[in-house]
Structures are given as C-alpha cells and as structure tokens.
Structure 1
Amino acid sequence: MTDNSAFHELFGDVRLMAILRGMGVERSLQVATTAWDLGITAVEVPVQTPTDVEALRVIAEAAAARGLHVGAGTVVTLEHVRQAKDAGAAFTVSPGFDVEIVRASHEAGLPALPGVATPTEVQHALKEGLTWFKAFPASLLGTGWFGAVRGPFPQATFVATGGMDAASAPAFLEAGVRVIAVGSALENPAQLPALSALVKGGAD
C-alpha cells in the first residue's frame, strides 16, 4: 500500500505550484527564484532530458538552502524515478496513473502525484492508498469535473495542471481544487501580482 498524504505538508497552505519545463539550468533557477519570492514553496522540474535532470539537481540544492522542496515531473519510467532520487527531488509527478511508477517512487521515499482524468483512474489510485492527484489536462477537464468527481470520491485532493494561469485559477480554486500548477504564467510579469495574491487565496 502506498501513501502520498505527505503532500499536505509539502504544499502547506500554499495554493500554487510552479512547473519549470524545458527552461535549461540557468533560466529554471531564475524562474524558481521568482516563484519562491512570491511565496510558492513547491516547484516541479519535468525530467525529460539530461539538461532537465541537471536543472532539477541545481534547483533542489537551491531549494534546500531555503528549507524548501522540489519535485521531479513527467516521471514516466523507473529510470526517471532513480534520476529524481539521485538529483535530490522530494516527490514525483506523472501525467498519468502508473501503479509501477507510484510504487517505485514510494519505495524511494518520494511521494508520487499521479495524473488522473477519469473516475476510473481516481478509484484505482485510491485503492492503491493515494489521496492526492494531479488532474490533467485541467483546462480541458473544466471546473465542473472536480465537483462531479468529488461526489463519489470526497477523500480525493486535486492539483489542477495544464493550461492554468492567474486568470483561470480562481474558478478552479472555487470549484474545490486544492493547488493550481502554473508554468509559463511565471514568466509573464503582468501575471505576477495576481499570482502573488493567489498564493494563499481560495477556500478549502
């Protein structure tokens, strides 16, 4: 039986998570610093290339100096789990639900945040012992999806990922989403004030 209840502590009361996809080492660190300065304590670095893995390693070191945590994203192979652990990641995030990846992450001491988009996936993941899920692609699922799924699965907690920004986030938070994952929005200076306001905004 796996367990990812550690995300309650990893996210705390912060409503946003930063995703740094394919930015390279230097730019990833710059955007991570922007996120941290806004109060976004959780950062995800997808690991699809060797450069991504190096970026994860550098950002994990910088985060540790602040007492913060960084996760590895787009974890879809057992090798990705190993790379995440070696690079200093504190958790893994996947686009879909793969029980093998979830179990390998758990065994490595890394809580896993699997992607779900259907009630069937949520039900199977809950059976595995998980309670936190990445709803992906959230912008296509829509806000109504969360209320509908929360009916039969009230114990499920969701991180909305995919197409999220400062404009769309409030509606998803109102729909019961616990955390909004943002990427390119962090590189848009016009969105930073609104993102800052959202860091601890919204209702449980």
Structure 2
Amino acid sequence: MTMDNSGFEELFDGAPLMAILRGMGVERSLAVSTTAWDLGIDVVELPIQTEEDLEALRVVAAAGRERGKAVGAGTVVSVEHVAQAASAGAVFTVSPGLDLEVVRASHDAGLISMPGVATASEVQSALGAGLTWVKAFPASVLGPQWLAAMRGPFPQARFVTTGGMHAGNADEYLRAGASVVAVGSALEDPAQLPQLAALLGTASRA
C-alpha cells in the first residue's frame, strides 16, 4: 500500500521555513505561533511528549484554524500519538524516524505524515512507500553536505531540515537542497527575525 504525503507541497506553498515549538507551554506556544504567522511562516509543528504539549497543540491548532494556518504534531512515535494528534486538531504528523505503521495510522486518520530520515536506506524506503516529503534529522549533525549528496540518487525527495536550524545557517541548508528549514528558538530571538523575514521575502513584515 503506498501512502502519499504530497499534500505538504500545498501546506508549505513554496515557503522555505516552518516553525517547531518544543515544550513551550500553552501561552508561549500561542505567542510564538503568532510571531511565526505574522512573519509569514504558515506551518507550525508542536512536538507532543507531555499532557501540556497536547493542550498547547489544541490551543494553537484552534487559533491556526481561525487564521487558515496548518498546525501539526511532532515527535509522533506511536499509533497512540497519532490518535492524540488527531483529537487535538492537528492536520499533519512528523516523526523523528521512519515508522510506516505511524505513517499508515496518520493516513487512516486523515493526517498527512512526514517521517524522519538520516540514511540513504531510509530515504529509499520512504520514497518506496510513496512518501516524497521527509524530515532530515538531526540536520545540524547530518550537515548540508549530506543533503547535497542525497539529491543525486533521490531527486524527487523533498527534505525538511530539523534540529539546530537558525537564521544563521538556514540559507546554507536551503542552498544545499532543503525544501524547507524548520526553526524554533530563533523565533524568540528578535535579532534573528529580520534574517528569517528576508529568507521568506517578507522583510517588510518584520
């Protein structure tokens, strides 16, 4: 059974950045999501590892729906997580690794799913299952050279780089072949916002 996650193409809509808000709690998650949306970052991911994370996801997903923004769940590593993500209002799931059971459960729940990859074998397996969008994790450890190397054998793969990404290195990863760079704490650093806005081509909004 092939699973298709090409829906991410529409979610990202050509934007080179997404936001990951890890363990920020409800109020900060909502505030930083709003910063992201105002900047022009439409896609927000909240990793779900605690009850508070799930509550933050519920609140941010509801706010996102009002603004027409896509909010998803990250660190989804079990079928149970998929059910929690769906009930909290997520529209997509992201995993640190490649687990086709989690992808299938997401698919069945009506959520688009993005698995994590760190090897050529994992990229090949993901593509074989029909998944063109994959998360390169941990990106700062893999490095831009890894991305450039993967483009040769897997030109159809769309990489979202996650882990250690910020305004200072995002451009390097995009040039190496990332379709999207995921930033987190950078959104709370006023010094980085103009650089992020420049990457988005929305400098006037910063």
**How many residues matched?**
201
Deviation at 1:131, TM superposition (A): 0.3
| TM-score, normalised by the number of residues in structure 2 | 0.96
**Distance in structure 2 (CA, Å) of the matches to 1:63 and 1:23:** 17
Which residue in 2 is equivalent to 1:151? 152
**Distance in structure 2 (CA, Å) of the matches to 1:94 and 1:106:** 13
SS at the partner of 2:191?
helix
Which residue in 1 is equivalent to 2:180? 179
SS at the partner of 1:17?
strand
Which residue in 2 is equivalent to 1:196? 197
Sequence identity (%):
67
- 1:101-124 deviation digits (Å, cap 9, x = unpaired): 011111111111110000000111
- 1:134-160 deviation digits (Å, cap 9, x = unpaired): 000111111111111111111100000
Kindly provide the amino acid, as one letter, of the partner of residue 16 in structure 2. R
- Runs ≥4 residues deviating over 2 A: none
User: Is 1:57 aligned to 2:61, yes or no?
Assistant: no
Deviation at 1:176, TM superposition (A): 1.3
Deviation at 1:184, TM superposition (A): 0.7
How do residues 100-119 of structure 1 correspond to structure 2 at under 5 angstroms? 100-119=101-120
Which residue in 1 is equivalent to 2:168? 167
Tell me if structure 2 keeps the 8 A contact 1:15–1:200: no
Deviation at 1:200, TM superposition (A): 4.4
User: Is 1:98 aligned to 2:121, yes or no?
Assistant: no
Deviation at 1:19, TM superposition (A): 0.4
Kindly provide the amino acid, as one letter, of the partner of residue 7 in structure 2. A
**Distance in structure 1 (CA, Å) of the matches to 2:41 and 2:201:** 9
**Distance in structure 2 (CA, Å) of the matches to 1:107 and 1:61:** 22
Which residue in 1 is equivalent to 2:82? 81
Structure 2 gaps, min length 5: none
Which residue in 1 is equivalent to 2:28? 27
Kindly provide the amino acid, as one letter, of the partner of residue 150 in structure 1. R
| TM-score, normalised by the number of residues in structure 1 | 0.97
RMSD of Structure 2 on Structure 1 (CA): 0.9
